Amino acid sequence: MRGSFLGFQGCLERRRPPLRTLTIGDGAPVKWVARTKQETHTTHRRNADLTAIRASAGRAFRSGVASETRTAAGRPWLAPGICQKKQETRTAAGRPWLALCICPQKRRGERAVTAHQIVPFTDPALRTVAQHVTTFDKELRELVKSLTLTLRAGAGRAGLAAPQLGVPLRVFAFSLDGRAGHIVNPRLETSERTVVADEACLSAAGIWWPLERSFSVTARGRDMFGKPVTVRAVGLLARVLQHEADHLDGMLFSDRLAPEEREKFLAQV
């Protein structure tokens, strides 16, 4: 047996006929049924093993690895995912079997969260001043998850504010150089030192323009559970936090450009 569960099926293919059914549950037996009843085998795994399986599958899901793969014998199968929803597929020989699908885990009573379309730069919704969050409920958690998923859905994305998804609430998410998170009702303290660097907006992707911003910033607010959060940043991450905070005030980064530069920028949007 290989070191990870993702190699489990490949090892089994070399020793046994193709699988028909595979079920996994917390503390329950892991069973596989071969072509003949005599080849039935059952084993038990502890909860710690199941947790490791889900963590491995979760890393594969977050890194964008495709859920479908193939065994050593060339037969397609689906790797175990984060949840335990079963979906049917077929082997190369056309025989059906069940595998765990790869999809985000959600708590009971919560809707599935997916990435959303980003509001374009010229949309009037981006000019709306976002409202303060007063209730830290599951709808807020779903919003934060949507921001995070949308942020991770494309390469080079560093920050995203709720108004960019059409939600007028003071929430934004960020992810840059290994630092990721979100802030609800943020308050920024900027430094007097400034620096000029190229800046862009996901609502006008691909258009970069030099802009002067504070070099360092301290952002304070709450997380999606209402706990206090403080983020101190310098350089590019500080620029990202200032950019997203502007969105919450209905301001676009082009508003900070000189009139001549603003006209040149808007001509390309």
Across 46-60, 93-107, 215-229, least confident range: 93-107
Closest CA to 149 of 241, 141, 133, 244: 141
Q: Average the pLDDT over 28-35 and give the result.
A: 41
Binding annotation: 201, 243, 247
Binding annotation for Fe cation: 201, 243, 247
Mean pLDDT of the chain: 73
3-state secondary structure (DSSP) of residue 116: coil
Which residues make beta-bridge pairs with 77? 69
Active site residue 244: yes
CATH superfamily of 124-266: Peptide deformylase (3.90.45.10)
pLDDT at 112: 58
pLDDT: is 110 or 24 the higher one?
A: 110
Under a CB-based contact definition with an 8 Å cutoff, are residues 242 and 188 in contact?
yes
Choose the catalytic residue: 244, 260, 261, 263: 244
Under a CB-based contact definition with an 8 Å cutoff, are residues 214 and 242 in contact?
yes
Phi, psi values for residue 126, rounded to 5°: -75, -10
Closest CA to 112 of 145, 152, 148, 63: 145
Q: pLDDT tens across 37-61, in order?
A: 444 343 344 444 545 545 554 444 4
Q: Is the pLDDT of residue 192 over 70?
A: yes
Q: pTM of the predicted model, to two decimals?
A: 0.60
- Among 13-27, 56-70, 211-225, the range with the most confident prediction by mean pLDDT is 211-225
Q: pLDDT tens across 137-177, in order?
A: 999 999 999 999 999 998 889 999 999 999 999 999 999 99
Domains of the chain, by residue range, sit at: 5-100, 124-266
